[in-house]
Amino acid sequence: MTDKKQLRAEMRRAREAFVAAAPRALAVPAALRAMFRADMIVAAYVPIGSEADPAPLVAAARVAGCRVALPHVVDRQTALTFLPWDENAALVDGPFRLRQPAGDACPIAPELVLTPLIAFDRALNRVGQGAGHYDRAFAQYPHAKRIGVAWSVQEVARIDADPWDAPLDAIVTEQEWITR
């Protein structure tokens, strides 16, 4: 637990230094573009701080005819839901500096989840914020594709997966598409 806490602090610092050094943007990997289908529900996120911004991936998903959803969070304990995010729809302030849809829409089931993370390894394990929001969402939607979105500096040699961790199917960074 302390290990993960320390890792999170270190990786947040690395991410901030990386983004401060030069502005970056993600390109859309062909392999990801090929996964998008018309009417597929793709969950994205609005970045907090120095997180990698999935906006180019979201734009490609919309061009492919996907429906986009965003996580909606109430607090650390409560499971997140995914709510529809129509293009240009207004967002409201949520906890943890999040921007999210207002909580009054009906939740929808994502088929592909663009997933924020703090650290990842080559075996496609991830460490997140530690609230278990995505771990629980992956358990709830086991058939959804899990695509990590990160800066390359968030890679670590090895993450010891916990029993509840579901590995990612692939990771997008500004440098590469990492998959099995």
Ligand X SMILES: Nc1ncnc2c1ncn2[C@@H]1O[C@H](COP(=O)(O)OP(=O)(O)OP(=O)(O)O)[C@@H](O)[C@H]1O
Binding residues: 4-8, 46, 51, 126-134
Instruction: Select from 12, 24, 99, 136 the one that contacts ligand X (CB under 6 A).
Output: 136
Q: Is 13 left (phi over 0), alpha (psi -120 to 50) or beta?
A: alpha
Residue in 176, 57, 170, 59 with CA at minimum distance from that of residue 117: 170
Per CB under 6 A, 45 contacts ligand FFO? yes
Per CB under 6 A, 80 contacts ligand FFO? yes
Per CB under 6 A, 130 contacts ligand X? yes
Residue in 6, 15, 1 with CA at minimum distance from that of residue 154: 15
- 74-87 burial, b at 16+ Cβ within 10 Å, e below that, comes to eeeeeebbbbebee
Per CB under 6 A, 48 contacts ligand FFO? yes
Give the CB-nearest residue to ligand X: 128
Binding site for ligand FFO (CB under 6 A): 12, 45-49, 51, 71, 73, 80, 96, 98, 116, 128-129, 131, 133-134
